[in-house]
Amino acid sequence: MQRARRVAVTAVAAALAVTGLAACQNEPGVAAYVGDTRITEDRVDAIYTEARDKLTASVERTGQEQGGQAPGPVEMPVTRRDIVTNLVGLDVLRGIAEQRNLQPAQIPVEQVAQGVGLPADTEYVRTFAEYRGYLDAFARTVTPAAPSDADLMDVYERLKAGGAQTGGDFAAFKGSIGEQDQQVLAENIGLRNALGEAAAAANARVNPRYGDAEMQLVTFRNEQGQTRPLVVLSFNAETGEPAVVDLP
């Protein structure tokens, strides 16, 4: 297992069912809210279009340099949902940093671009790098929390669903977790708990068209090289209510 703050290739953030949500006014063209801040569909579309166009140009340029045929439509490594959750998470973390006087870590956009699979000069990469910088700064202030059996069971099920070798049943898996992995889990479960409280205080919510949202804190790669979530902040985990609700 690795720290997702270093290896995650998708941006992830907040959608929260909160008391009094029905009092919020629905506005056409709004993708998400963080308190009184509105993240519009136009902004999401602009970020997505820029990323797609610059990736297409980069792929075409590489193909020409190699003397190959013109490629077909590019396969985007991010979705509009990724963009929405990234922007929401960034707003939440900016608020935390302002309240606690935290300075974000400086994350090179080139490093993020390589992990995400988009050109470094896209707005998505820039905002994701900023998001990760704030997340790293916040993580350094958080107290680790020992994983419960429920936490470990969730990890175990995600490993199985993601195609990883778990080494047998849950009892065998639990007994095989090494000290280093225990530490990574404890750090990120503590971060998950603290982020849940902060997101609730920020009153963050996402339009239901984007589906459920979760913040990936630890990821793993399966034998096919695919990145899968391992420890996440799911916003309906404790309430049992939908993580994303209709905006009235």
What would the pLDDT profile of 13-28 be if each residue is shown by its tens digit?
333 333 233 323 457 7
What would the pLDDT profile of 77-115 be if each residue is shown by its tens digit?
888 988 988 898 899 999 999 999 999 999 999 999 998
Helix/strand/coil for 242: coil
Contact 91, 130 (CB under 8 A): no
CA angle 10, 11, 14 (to 5 degrees): 135
For the entire predicted model, the pTM comes to 0.75
What would the pLDDT profile of 228-244 be if each residue is shown by its tens digit?
778 877 643 333 333 33
Please list the residues that pair with 220 across neighbouring strands. 228
What would the pLDDT profile of 146-171 be if each residue is shown by its tens digit?
999 999 999 999 988 888 877 789 99
Burial class of residue 212 in the structure, from the number of CB atoms within 10 Å of its CB (0-12 exposed, 13-18 middle, 19+ buried): middle
Alpha-carbon span 240 to 105, nearest angstrom: 34
Alpha-carbon span 205 to 16, nearest angstrom: 5
DSSP state of 19: T
Identify the sign of the CA torsion 230, 41, 15, 133: positive
The residue among 85 and 138 whose pLDDT is bigger is: 138
Lowest-confidence segment of 9-23, 46-60, 62-76, 79-93 by average pLDDT: 9-23
